[in-house]
Amino acid sequence: QVQLVESGGGLVVAGGSLRLSCVASGLTFSSYAMGWFRQGPGKEREFVGTIAWSGGNTWLADSVKGRFTISRDNAKNTVYLQMNSLKPEDTAVYYCAAGTTPRRTRYEYDYWGQGTQVTVSS
């Protein structure tokens, strides 16, 4: 079965950095676009970033552009989210997802990870 396993979440102070990883199995990783989404308490799940099949094209939400970077290593079946200059409003559960094309909406993705908690304190 397809499985996406996330890691790297935790508690950080505002202005700090964190790197999330998501390892995929049960699929041909290079054939899938990968995305990152997040959901804060009482909020809808929102788009963070997406990356194309070979990693040549990336797109980020305006709220994280300039602070976050999305990348992938197809040899390791892994997608990353590097988060710098973290703010308290970045606090959320972060999810990785796999889909047939790099899109900004969650409806375009077929598989999801379990989520990892990121908490940013001031």
Tens place of pLDDT for every residue, the chain, 122 residues?
Answer: 999 999 999 999 999 999 999 999 999 999 999 999 999 999 999 999 999 998 889 999 999 999 999 999 999 999 999 999 999 999 999 999 999 999 999 999 999 999 999 999 99
Residue linked to tokens 């996330």: 6
Residue 80 Rama label (left phi>0; alpha psi -120 to 50; beta): beta
CA angle 96, 82, 63 (to 5 degrees): 80
At 80 the pLDDT is 98
Six-digit token string for 122: 């001031």
Residue linked to tokens 């047939």: 100
Backbone phi and psi for residue 111, each to the nearest 5 degrees, phi listed first: -130, 150
